[in-house]
Amino acid sequence: MVVGGSLSKPEIIANEVIRILDDSERFCFHMAAEMKRAAAETWIATARRKATANARRALAPLFAKEVHVCAIVAKEGEPGSLDETLASHPRLHTAKGCFCRDVFRDACTVRAEVVPPVRLDVSSVGKLAPAPGGRDQKLAALAAWLVMRSS
């Protein structure tokens, strides 16, 4: 989501879903858990390169709209080692979240700031835009305005 304005006078410039991996690859950590360790490491590295390239390609036209800073709504922290991740189903999901956060941060051609969702009060935002205009879009918009205000 690309936003302008402020919380009191919001402006939605773009509202798009960006797919960084296709359906056969998006559960990359679940797939890696079924592989031998060396193959899993190679698979994740390949998926990261592909996802980053896809994200850069998708973000380029959005950044052309005079974007100066990027807010990424995601938890901070690391999932642990690959061995720890692959040994625990909940860690596969944590790793996927970290993977997506890091891919978007690496794909940004402007300053990117990670904003944890716990710092955002989605109830302070009314309807922002036509569908998709749910909780994720409100979190994204709030994070963007927070980061813009601190710039």
Tens-place pLDDT, residues 93-137: 999 999 999 999 999 988 899 999 988 887 766 655 555 567 777
Q: Of 84 and 15, which is predicted with more confidence?
A: 84
User: For residue 138, is pLDDT > 90?
Assistant: no
User: For residue 88, is pLDDT > 60?
Assistant: yes
* pLDDT for the residue 143: 87
Cα–Cα separations (whole angstroms), residue 141 to 43, 84, 102, 121, 138: 33, 34, 19, 11, 5
Domain count, the chain: 1
* pLDDT for the residue 65: 73
pLDDT tens digits, one per residue of 3-42: 777 666 777 777 788 899 999 899 999 999 999 999 999 9
* pLDDT for the residue 66: 76
pLDDT tens digits, one per residue of 53-65: 999 999 998 887 7
Q: What are the beta bridge partners of residue 4? A: 11
* pLDDT for the residue 89: 94
* pLDDT for the residue 37: 94
Query: Which residues span the domain enclosing 38?
Result: 2-150
DSSP string, 99-139: HHHHHHHHH-SSEEEEE-GGG--GGG----SSSS-SHHHHH
Cβ burial, residue 50 (10 Å; 0-12/13-18/19+): middle
* pLDDT for the residue 11: 75
Instruction: Please compute the mean of the pLDDT values over residues 129-149 and round it to a whole number.
Output: 74
